[in-house]
Amino acid sequence: MARGDHLRVFRRGYWHHGIDCGDGTVIHYTGELFDRSNAAVRRTPIEQFAKGGKVRVVKSHSDFHIEDIIARAESRLEEMRYSTVSNNCEHFASWCRTGRRESKQVRRAITAATALGVAAVTVAGTLAAVGAMARGRGRA
């Protein structure tokens, strides 16, 4: 791990992301998933970021110099605009390194939810058709 790296650590069902400051600290959104009450961008010791998990580096290209990545992260310290869907820790770390707010986790969740919705509609339609056919047979 090195200064300016995009880090992640697995926590109960999701990946938590932040930016390595190179001094044993990480800038990231604190708080817990779906709990906005104390979610803020903060600089914490890497141990607090990891919470016992294995910290990994997210391989990503950056057009920004390392100092600019850190400056971008620091510019948002104390921000309290957390949103699971549109402004989470992965959006933050991605923006610091690439300038784009992206979250692969959110994109995967939306894709999965859409697929489940299509499947549910298909099943409901099939059940309705089977029910209609059964009712039609009972009358003949």
What's the CATH code of the domain at 81?
A: 3.90.1720.10
Helix (H) or strand (E) holding 120, with range, is helix 104-139
User: Which 3 state secondary structure label does DSSP give 125?
Assistant: helix
Which residues make beta-bridge pairs with 20? 26
Residue 56: which domain range? 6-102
Tens of pLDDT along 42-91? 999 999 999 999 999 999 889 899 999 999 999 999 999 998 888 999 99
Q: Are residues 63 and 126 in the same domain?
A: no
Portion of the chain with pLDDT greater than 90, in percent: 59
Q: Are residues 22 and 87 in the same domain?
A: yes
Residues belonging to the active site: 16, 28, 89
Q: Are residues 86 and 47 in the same domain?
A: yes
Q: Are the CB atoms for 73 and 19 separated by under 8 Å?
A: yes
Tens of pLDDT along 122-138? 545 555 555 666 666 65
Domain-located, residue 34: yes
Q: Are residues 111 and 84 in the same domain?
A: no
Q: Are residues 96 and 112 in the same domain?
A: no
Give dist(CA 29, CA 16) in Å, integer. Answer: 9
Q: Are residues 85 and 129 in the same domain?
A: no
Confidence label for 140 from pLDDT (cuts 50, 70 and 90): very low
Domain-located, residue 82: yes
Domain-located, residue 1: no
* This model's pTM is above 0.85: no
Q: How many independent structural domains does the chain possess? A: 2
Q: Are residues 94 and 116 in the same domain?
A: no
Q: Are residues 74 and 93 in the same domain?
A: yes
Q: What is the dihedral of CA 33, 35, 116, 87, to 10 degrees?
A: -70
Crossing angle of helices 104-139 and 89-98, in 10° steps, is 130
More confident residue, 109 or 29: 29
